[in-house]
Amino acid sequence: MNVLVLNCGSSSLKFAVIDPGEQRELVSGIAQRLGTPAATIDVKRDGGRSPRAVGGAAHAEALRAIVDELSREGLTRNLGGVGHRVVHGGSRFSASTAITPEVIAKIEECIPLGPLHNPPNLVGIRIARELFPGLSQVAVFDTAFHQTMLPVAYTYPVPHEWEEKFGVRRYGFHGTSHRYVARRALAEAGLPADDHALVTAHLGNGCSCAAVRNGRSVDTTMGLTPLEGLMMGTRSGSVDPAIIGHVAGARRGAPEAVLEDLNKKSGLLGVSGLSNDMRTIEEAAAAGHPRARLAFDLFCSILAKSIASLVVPLGRLDALVFTGGIGENSTAVRERTVSHLGFLGLVLDPDANAAHGRGRHGRITTGERPQALVVATNEELLIALDTAEIVGGNGR
Ligand code: ADP
């Protein structure tokens, strides 16, 4: 049985067909700039790409075209289910769930918490239900893994009634990635499933860390929204919230515009003035660009301080896991971060650090405990595995 995995964003749609039994991806790709004249569908097969223009296509049309293409190649024949990435499940979902009309209604109720993400996620669910009426659909939530956090981790020190009235609490994101790499890291680091203390650092365009004790998330750096916590590609991460009123007042503008800048024009991009892309930052810093250097230094400093703070709820640290585009590929970020954390007993093995990258995982420090390691994330695979487990193998 294969699973179609869908991740619908506001103007993009990522897809993959995965054989969960063999843990093998048969095909994957992305439709981008949907709803604009520049819309494309880019299917990746056997390492190659074949982008084609589908000018003006919106999500429904693009997904139909993708499914047509996949079925011509026989890739939809053995589908047992469709797994959807859903960003915000609020406090309503603590695990992946078979999609029913009631579940759709609950995801809709979470729209105020995830106004940018949940609506396109729901579009993907609706279209897939139309295209595959007989097939089970499963929602896999970014927030679900962190629902094990206790009140002392998820409560903001704000007026108590805000939580009940407005849902103001910390939810955390990237849960699928944190759950996947935490599981993989146990085998890699030789740690027991019932007694371990990990910090997982998912460093992509969005960045977050999680504290994982015995398979459960006990704390994480993102909060009500993905804006909190680490410095990211374009997001500031945690800042003094008074900045919003201060800048809005000084610009005689709306606070929403400042919030938009904290989400889209800050982080690596804002500090460097160059780019949100860590490769560009590293190259410019190496060439002596002062603000690129500052952006790199700040990114690693905030990351290391956040990792250290997560050792408090864990009580100890057995392993620090790097993942995501930056975590898997940037030897420089890993080197600097581990060096900041030397006081925890982490000592970098420079050869091992240089040797690890995407597709190659393992330990990058010299000692047994604590150790730092690289584990490649695979959120699509975990969505496929959850979907297969929930549909029970027959997909109906
Ligand atoms: P997303 O969160 O969109 O899935 P990725 O996980 O692919 O993003 O991560 C993208 C980030 O990874 C970018 O900042 C990119 O610069 C960084 N990255 C990818 N390869 C390297 C590399 N070799 N060295 C440094 N950074 C890298």
Q: Give the binding-site residues of ligand 1, using a 6 Å CB cut-off.
A: 204-206, 233, 277-279, 282, 324-326, 329-330
Query: Taking a C-beta distance cutoff of 8 angstroms, is the pair 31, 41 a contact?
Result: yes
Distance CA 279, CA 358 (A): 14
Q: Which residue owns the Cα nearest ligand 1 atom 21?
A: 329
Residue given tokens 């892309």 in the structure block:
277
Q: So what's the pLDDT on residue 396?
A: 38
Cis previous bond, 370, omega within 30: yes
Q: Which atom in ligand 1 lies closest to the alpha carbon of residue 280?
A: 16
Q: Which residue owns the Cα nearest ligand 1 atom 23?
A: 329
| Ligand 1 centre distance from Cα of residue 66 (Å) | 26
Query: Taking a C-beta distance cutoff of 8 angstroms, is the pair 39, 54 a contact?
Result: yes
Query: Taking a C-beta distance cutoff of 8 angstroms, is the pair 148, 218 a contact?
Result: yes
Most informative mutation of 329, 336, 353, 358 for ligand 1 (most atoms within 8 A of CB) = 329
Q: Which amino acid is at 280?
A: T
Query: Taking a C-beta distance cutoff of 8 angstroms, is the pair 174, 202 a contact?
Result: yes
The predicted model scores a pTM of 0.94
Q: So what's the pLDDT on residue 358?
A: 57
Query: Taking a C-beta distance cutoff of 8 angstroms, is the pair 324, 300 a contact?
Result: no
Of 105, 108, 83, 106, the residue nearest 96 (C-alpha)? 83
Residue 301's CB: how many other CB atoms inside 10 A?
14
The tokens for 181 are 């790499």
Q: Determine which one of 42, 142, 194, 277 is catalytic.
A: 142
Residue 280's CB: how many other CB atoms inside 10 A?
16
Q: So what's the pLDDT on residue 361?
A: 80
Phi, psi of 355 (to 5 degrees): -85, -15
| Ligand 1 centre distance from Cα of residue 238 (Å) | 21
| Ligand 1 centre distance from Cα of residue 91 (Å) | 30
Query: Taking a C-beta distance cutoff of 8 angstroms, is the pair 84, 99 a contact?
Result: yes
Residue 359's CB: how many other CB atoms inside 10 A?
7
Residues of the chain under the 50 pLDDT cut: 394-396
Q: Which atom in ligand 1 lies closest to the alpha carbon of residue 377?
A: 6
3-state secondary structure the chain: CEEEEEEECCCCEEEEEEECCCCEEEEEEEEECCCCCCCEEEEEECCEEEEEECCCCCHHHHHHHHHHHHHHCCCCCCEEEEEEEECCCCCCCCCCEECCHHHHHHHHHCCCCCCCCHHHHHHHHHHHHHHCCCCEEEEEECCHHHHHCCHHHHCCCCCCHHHHHHCCCCCCCCHHHHHHHHHHHHHHHCCCCCCCEEEEEEECCCEEEEEEECCEEEEECCCCCCCCCCCCCCCCCCCCCHHHHHHHHHHCCCHHHHHHHHHHCCHHHHHHCCCCCHHHHHHHHHCCCHHHHHHHHHHHHHHHHHHHHHHHHHCCCCEEEEEHHHHHHCHHHHHHHHHHCHHHCCCECHHHHHHCECCECEECECCCCCEEEECCCCHHHHHHHHHHHHHCCCCC
Q: Which residue owns the Cα nearest ligand 1 atom 27?
A: 326
Backbone CA torsion sign across 374, 94, 87, 103 = positive
Q: Which residue owns the Cα nearest ligand 1 atom 4?
A: 204
Q: In the annotation, is 46 catalytic? A: no
Q: Which atom in ligand 1 lies closest to the alpha carbon of residue 281?
A: 16
Most informative mutation of 28, 173, 176, 279 for ligand 1 (most atoms within 8 A of CB) = 279
Phi, psi of 248 (to 5 degrees): -60, -45
The tokens for 221 are 């750096």
Of 238, 333, 231, the residue nearest 279 (C-alpha)? 333
Q: So what's the pLDDT on residue 10?
A: 84
Q: Which residue owns the Cα nearest ligand 1 atom 3?
A: 205
Angle between helical axes of 331-340 and 290-314 (0-180°, round to 10): 50
Q: Which atom in ligand 1 lies closest to the alpha carbon of residue 357?
A: 23
Of 216, 142, 230, 215, the residue nearest 183 (C-alpha)? 215
Of 207, 243, 224, 230, the residue nearest 323 (C-alpha)? 207
Q: Which amino acid is at 311?
A: V
